[in-house]
């Protein structure tokens, strides 16, 4: 996988964290340095960790599905992308959580929720026999960076729900594009491909 492809996946995976960090910034209004650090650190760490866990799980099944690996990778990316698009189009209650979302179990639950997609993508990377360490670093860094930016935007904006919606739509679309590119590289799409 190219560096550009890895960065595109990292950005797509970070869209959930970006959207949650905007909402967190809106709800907190006044963000302390500790809150800002805790959220971007946890979101970045969990994204990278879940990618590695998914990759390790993929090692156990790679030999069994080697002939169809590109279809499995496409299906996983399509499911994750579809979930992101569905989430963006869903009508949500915009009420804020009154408990500080950058502390305790709420922080852990948000970190897990925003990184579950990375588990499926890690599985896809393993199936495609892609080394994990550089992608994990890039994914973790991108999630941290976009979380930090999202909290700043959320803290300064009264209502930016449209940005949250379009971030998730874009992330979902990027995962679909990457999935179709994998099929194209394997010559599945109408006999065309490298």
Q: How far, in Å, CA of 150 to CA of 22, rounded?
A: 5
Residues 56-89: pLDDT tens digits?
988 887 777 667 767 877 787 777 777 777 777 7
Residue pair 100/45 in contact by the 8 Å Cβ criterion: no
Residue pair 10/136 in contact by the 8 Å Cβ criterion: no
Q: pLDDT class for 191, splitting at 50, 70, 90?
A: low
In 3D, which of 162, 188, 172 has the Cα closest to residue 9? 172
Structure tokens at 112: 């897990």
In 3D, which of 165, 180, 148, 151 has the Cα closest to residue 70? 180
CB atoms within 10 A of CB 193: 12
Q: How far, in Å, CA of 107 to CA of 159, rounded?
A: 22
Residues 174-189: pLDDT tens digits?
777 777 877 787 777 7
Q: How far, in Å, CA of 53 to CA of 120, rounded?
A: 9
Residue pair 151/39 in contact by the 8 Å Cβ criterion: yes
Q: How far, in Å, CA of 108 to CA of 127, rounded?
A: 28
- pTM of structure: 0.72
Q: What is the CB-side half-sphere exposure of residue 176 using CA atoms within 13 A?
A: 11
Query: 159 pLDDT exceeds 60?
Result: no
Q: How far, in Å, CA of 123 to CA of 56, rounded?
A: 7
């Amino acid at each position: 996988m190219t560096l550009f492809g890895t960065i595109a996946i990292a950005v797509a995976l970070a869209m959930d964290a970006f959207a949650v960090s905007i909402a967190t910034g809106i709800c907190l209004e006044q963000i302390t340095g500790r809150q800002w650090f805790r959220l971007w650190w946890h979101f970045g760490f969990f994204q990278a960790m879940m990618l590695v866990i998914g990759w390790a799980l993929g090692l156990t099944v790679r030999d069994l599905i080697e002939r169809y690996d590109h279809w499995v990778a496409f299906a996983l990316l399509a499911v994750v992308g579809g979930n992101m698009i569905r989430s963006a189009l869903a009508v949500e209650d915009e009420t804020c959580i009154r408990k500080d979302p950058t502390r305790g179990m709420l922080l852990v639950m948000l970190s897990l929720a925003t990184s579950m997609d990375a588990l499926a993508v890690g599985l896809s990377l393993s199936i495609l026999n892609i080394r994990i360490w550089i992608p994990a670093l890039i994914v973790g860094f991108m999630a941290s960076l976009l979380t930090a930016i999202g909290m700043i935007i959320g803290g300064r904006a009264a209502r930016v729900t449209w940005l949250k919606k379009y971030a998730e739509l874009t992330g979902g679309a990027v995962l679909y594009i990457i999935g179709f590119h994998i099929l194209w590289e394997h010559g599945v799409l109408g006999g065309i491909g490298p």
